[in-house]
Amino acid sequence: MKWSSVEIEAGREVDAQERRDLAKQLCVRVLEEYVDQHFRESTRSAAEMFLNRKRMERIL
């Protein structure tokens, strides 16, 4: 079950199962952001390496 920040901020009590669900949702969100950032940086780095290699080939 998904909970909105409004429900949480309203001070509604959550039971143990709801806390576990919220923790799982948070883990998924953090991992998704990490993977997105990692692949974005990896892609950028690979593109820079490719462009640098092409520049070096033209020089040589």
Length of the chain: 60
pLDDT in tens, 23-50: 999 999 999 999 999 999 999 999 999 9
Distances (CA, A) of 32 to 6, 17, 23, 36, 40: 22, 23, 14, 6, 12
Exposed / middle / buried, residue 21 (Cβ in 10 Å: 0-12, 13-18, 19+):
middle
pLDDT in tens, 6-26: 566 667 777 888 889 989 999
Per-residue confidence band for 3, with pLDDT thresholds at 50, 70 and 90: low
pLDDT value, residue 37: 93
pLDDT value, residue 28: 95
Q: Is the pTM of this model over 0.85?
A: no
Expressed as residue numbers, the domain containing 41 is 5-59
Number of domains making up the chain: 1
Note the Cα 15 to chain centre separation in Å. Answer: 27
